[in-house]
Structure 1
Amino acid sequence: MPGPAPGQKTVLITGCTPGGIGHALCMEFHAKGVHVIATARNPAVLEDLGKLGMTTLALDVTNSESIKTCHAAVEKLTGGKLDILVNNAGRTHTHPATDIDIDDVRETFETNVFGVMAMCASFADLLIAARGQIINIASLAAITPYVFGSVYCATKGAVASYSRTLRLELKPFGVRVTVAMTGTVRSHIASKTHRTLPEGSIYQRVKEIFEKRLTFSQNNATVDTKTYARKLVRNALKPEWPLVLRAWFGRADWFWAGGWATKVWFATWFGEWLLDSVMYRMIGMKKLEGVLREEERQKKLR
């Protein structure tokens, strides 16, 4: 197994399947001279990264034994230190809040929230030894009313809140925590349309709106994955600055990038009414209002 050269920085990235943000981050960190430890549930999909000299390991962030095994391998590989941990592994979840299946919801929380928490807890010792950095990949969905994405929004909101507290808890040990508020970015995972409305859903009236929403992130100001990765890695590798100068020169506590990121950040200064109004109309909920009004009119005519 290839390892880092003496003095070389190391980064462990979760969810590195080709076509996603994790894979692009691996390529960008590697290009910047950082030794990359790429992980995925099935390490066979990481063969191209291994050929480039990166370390590839099996890792299921929802399985405690898998995390423990990965930690042991990383500790041996790096001599007990880890400079950067990127919690990227994630799961999409697009369903109206009134149509969710709780077992399905639990699976999403296991990956998007509990997996992040488990990784931070497990690898804290290696990060503290290196006075390193944690980068948690959140989403604009953490603060945006992403219609039909209540579960996904809830998981990313949880990651953002968890990360704020984690930042303060690890600050005395010299470990930095960055939350990546990620906008629309090209990804194979986000392109999947396997979810459907159940029979009897109150949104069957506007089924076409739901189906369009399934791939919204891939068709609205979507940023190229490599471009996003380049910006995130550039931020991660910046030198440390005092708190008062950090926002301008150092590694950001909150990193905003991807489609809509700047606009959403700007909108937060005006109150939630603005984001509510924009998302309501953008997704097409005004059409549902019209459909319901027509249904009421027809009832009165009978």
Structure 2
Amino acid sequence: MGPKPGQKTALITGCSPGGIGHALCLEFHAKGVHVIATARNPAVLSEMAAMGMTTLTLDVTKEGSIKACHDEVSKLTGGKLDILVNNAGRTHTHPATDLSIPDVRETFETNVFGVMAMCAAFSDLLIASRGLIINIASLAAVTPYVFGSAYCASKGAVTAYSRTLRLELKPFGVRVMVAMTGTVRSQIASRTHRTLPEGSIYERVRAIFERRLTFSQSNPATMDTTQYARKLVAKALAPEWPLLLRAWFGRPDWFWAGGWASKVWLGQCIGEWVTDFIMYRMMGMKTLEKVLREEQRTKKLE
């Protein structure tokens, strides 16, 4: 079932149940937008298909998959797309000194190159409708999220790319919104995580590393996925306002929501030293200092 005449369309990547993409599909659908939900395995989207959404196969790391999806969407919508939400992403929690570069490349393939490929491939449909691109970034882009250097780097790349993309597409009437996402409830904590390799310099604080693996889901500030989706969709569908008023009344260039979002935003205004100070202690680096000092003291006594 395709969109009705005059109905807005939204293509969302990474829509497996339990995550932000799935919640965004449900919220856009509830607001009367024709949703095109995608996943590498479309079988997991059967519930949404039954609700009247279009479901398509899409792997954002595969050029052929992106092209096939583009062609199907173009036929479905008559060559237009109102909203593209680049949500598909990959977590990556590992100390910087323990990173496997092939593993990092896989993270960038999904989190960065997948976003770039989708924007390039669907630009013609978005230009035709003077549409909106929403790139789901993270507070990690501007926060020293200990043991998340690869993930932080990938989201930092998305924010930098989006800022330039915004200016390049402005003459064509296409808007670019970056979602600076804090901690949001999802199924991420139930996935298989990386482990510290043998000989890691962080073996001495393994417990801190293991707590960090599920921090986004276990801390009290984490926002409900439905609440996050409701806030984002409301902003995405808001009318246009002049530049200086967008953040309050219209579709903002930067959307901040999720656990810790307001605090990180404030920290950016005051100075990054504030965020560094808080994150260093919150993530257990002061504990590591104490462990190292005790090791040095013991060596001196031997």
SS at match of 2:135: strand
**Which 10-residue stretch deviates more, 181-190 or 122-131?**
181-190
How big is the shift at 1:219?
A: 1.4
SS at match of 1:109: helix
SS at match of 2:146: coil
The equivalent residue for 1:208 is 207
The C-alpha deviation readout for 1:189-233, integer Å capped at 9, x for no partner, is: 244352110000000000000000000000121100000000000
Amino acid at match of 1:97: A
The equivalent residue for 2:258 is 258
TM-score after normalising by structure 2:
0.99
The equivalent residue for 2:273 is 273
Q: How does 1:54-203 map to 2 (within 5 A)?
A: 54-203=53-202
SS at match of 2:25: helix
SS at match of 2:275: helix
Distance 1:190 1:133 in 2: 31
Distance 2:276 2:162 in 1: 25
Amino acid at match of 1:120: C
The equivalent residue for 2:39 is 40
SS at match of 1:184: coil
The equivalent residue for 1:18 is 17
The C-alpha deviation readout for 1:74-101, integer Å capped at 9, x for no partner, is: 0000000000000000000000000000
SS at match of 1:269: helix
The C-alpha deviation readout for 1:160-216, integer Å capped at 9, x for no partner, is: 000000000000000000000000000112443521100000000000000000000
Amino acid at match of 2:232: L
Distance 1:205 1:155 in 2: 28
Distance 1:245 1:260 in 2: 24
Amino acid at match of 1:69: A
Distance 1:212 1:190 in 2: 11
Amino acid at match of 1:296: Q
CA contact (8 A) 1:193 1:215 kept: no
TM-score after normalising by structure 1:
0.99
Runs of 4 or more above 4 Å deviation: none
Percent identity (aligned):
79
The C-alpha deviation readout for 1:104-125, integer Å capped at 9, x for no partner, is: 0000000000000000000000
The equivalent residue for 1:292 is 292
Distance 2:66 2:216 in 1: 30
Distance 2:191 2:202 in 1: 20
Distance 1:194 1:245 in 2: 42
Amino acid at match of 1:256: W
How big is the shift at 1:242?
A: 1.8
In structure 1, list runs of 5 or more residues that go unmatched: none
Amino acid at match of 1:98: T
CA contact (8 A) 1:246 1:252 kept: yes
Q: How does 1:232-251 map to 2 (within 5 A)?
A: 232-251=232-251
In structure 2, list runs of 5 or more residues that go unmatched: none
Distance 1:269 1:298 in 2: 43
How big is the shift at 1:243?
A: 1.5
Amino acid at match of 1:262: S
Amino acid at match of 1:222: T
Evaluate the alpha carbon distance shift between residue 53 and residue 90 of structure 1 in structure 2; reply closer, same or farther with a 3 A threshold: same
Amino acid at match of 1:32: K
SS at match of 1:111: helix
How big is the shift at 1:247?
A: 2.1
Distance 1:120 1:259 in 2: 28
CA contact (8 A) 1:185 1:222 kept: yes
CA contact (8 A) 1:13 1:37 kept: yes
